[in-house]
Structure 1
């Protein structure tokens, strides 16, 4: 508990730093000394605070989605962006934009979530026909499926002149987050709470259908609930801030290495670590090339790919 408190305090410190980092000169003294109409107040309340909240919500929920995905698939090397889930959500959002452009963002997000659920179910169906002699084959199958779905989305975007929009959805970037444009991410927090409530059931489901059925658990219901949580988180983050790769892969693995595989114990750690990691990467992206900004997905992708390679090599050395 003491170490979790330290992690929470670290995340809070990163959040405070995030609020005061940026091109606009906003200091603590100017914020409290100025009137309600001052520019410093407006920048803080309209841009900086919503951006920091969006980083925390997106980071924690995507990390939880990755952990639930790994429990359902029973493989440590998968996450929503490596199983076709995120690409399916992108395709769904594109289809919604083409067919029902007048719908509110919430309606388009639900369509994206439905596509994400269908894409994840397709991935699980394909796995039943693939002889999985190596754990690395599972993410490879997912990456191939993601490539196919991404190609379909790219073709549609090219056909209807939406390539720029598709690129924006595929690039995780928080620079455009403002008050009134991130609130859907609170649904990710609700999904995180649901994952914590059902943590024990996900643990049992991750041990296999026969085992969970013998313990009296409805394996199909638990699996569907997990897939629904993953799909909603993927869709919400996609329509709000874009795609953030590797986050749901590396955070649960690092937490598992530190505290073990108890899901109920790991959920708070995964959520806090995911939020802290995203905050740190976003601060780094804003500081490296000031006054310009490196998109968050680029920073996370570079760090995440390195950690992913280390995890694979570590697994290989243990098997040897």
Structure 2
């Protein structure tokens, strides 16, 4: 019942987002006997694709963050604090420099490979740290991400691509149009795959020894989770850029009332992630109307405050 109410709220936010913008679009102009053709074109070409892109990004990044937190067993890890986003940006830059004629799908695959390698390196470093406190793990991820980001910035400066790199780092939905966001539908399929394998991720979150004793292949579960996280991160970076704190905050909020069961948490994380990004996108469009603030900037401001709250909670613990 609560999930149904949350879903209705998301639908209302989505319908409201269709009416916000410089172009005058209203339900009256769309459904009146003399429908405004320009308003209909704006709705079909820009507003609906943007709304769908926002929801797909929120859903997929939230679930990717939940999976990564379970695999690493730490509440303060997500693709943006584990080096996945920065390594995906590095891969996208490498594809842009070395193979500029590569199609978008090819660049996404290169970015996914780099994201997978970056996340795997993050996990390898964690294995060599004898004491993994709740703060050390995200700190390692932030340092590793800064290394990848420095390499990306250096080569982007040399190749005069800094503007493109900045666009990949900041999630901005203002450029989303029909024909330029469809790759994000693949992230919905990956989210469904994560839900199908939810029980395995829950078991893997209890440790390698526990998983092996239940007769499951821990390495395969880890590989599946990393592939899902890497592909989702790469597709989001290639299409709209990264949205900070999303994969960290939404799973933490959901875990307060669903616990650590991935099958129960994933639907809530999907709905909560979509709602969070929708709300940030709407705020970014109305705060300085008719000018627009990127939704990722709003998410960064809200997310930083909530991140500090979770960080300072007395009962903060390893996932």
Q: How many residues align?
A: 318
Tell me what 2:86 maps to.
Answer: 87
Secondary structure of the residue aligned to 2:180 is: coil
Matched residues in 1 for 2:264 and 2:247: separation? 17
Secondary structure of the residue aligned to 1:177 is: coil
Tell me what 1:209 maps to.
Answer: 208
Aligned 8 A contact 1:34 1:41 in 2 = no
Matched residues in 2 for 1:34 and 1:155: separation? 57
Stretches (4+) displaced over 4 A:
34-37, 316-319
Q: How does 1:40-189 map to 2 (within 5 A)?
A: 40-189=39-188
Which ranges of structure 1 fall in alignment gaps of 5 or more residues? none
Matched residues in 1 for 2:219 and 2:170: separation? 34
Matched residues in 2 for 1:317 and 1:73: separation? 15
Secondary structure of the residue aligned to 1:80 is: coil
Q: How many Å apart are 1:282 and its aligned residue?
A: 0.6
What does the per-residue CA deviation read over 1:174-217, in whole Å, with 9 as the maximum and x for residues that have no partner?
00000000000001101100000000000111111111011011
Matched residues in 2 for 1:251 and 1:131: separation? 29
Q: How many Å apart are 1:317 and its aligned residue?
A: 7.5
Tell me what 1:255 maps to.
Answer: 254
Which ranges of structure 2 fall in alignment gaps of 5 or more residues? none
Aligned 8 A contact 1:113 1:232 in 2 = yes
Matched residues in 1 for 2:231 and 2:33: separation? 41
Structure-2 change in CA distance of 1:113 and 1:36 (3 Å): farther
Q: How many Å apart are 1:38 and its aligned residue?
A: 1.4
Aligned 8 A contact 2:92 2:107 in 1 = yes
Tell me what 1:273 maps to.
Answer: 272
Q: How many Å apart are 1:34 and its aligned residue?
A: 6.7
**RMSD (Å) for aligned C-alpha atoms:** 1.4
Secondary structure of the residue aligned to 1:83 is: coil
Structure-2 change in CA distance of 1:206 and 1:316 (3 Å): closer
Matched residues in 2 for 1:13 and 1:201: separation? 34
Tell me what 1:15 maps to.
Answer: 14
TM-score, normalization: structure 1? 0.97
Q: How many Å apart are 1:261 and its aligned residue?
A: 1.5
Tell me what 1:5 maps to.
Answer: 4
Secondary structure of the residue aligned to 1:194 is: helix
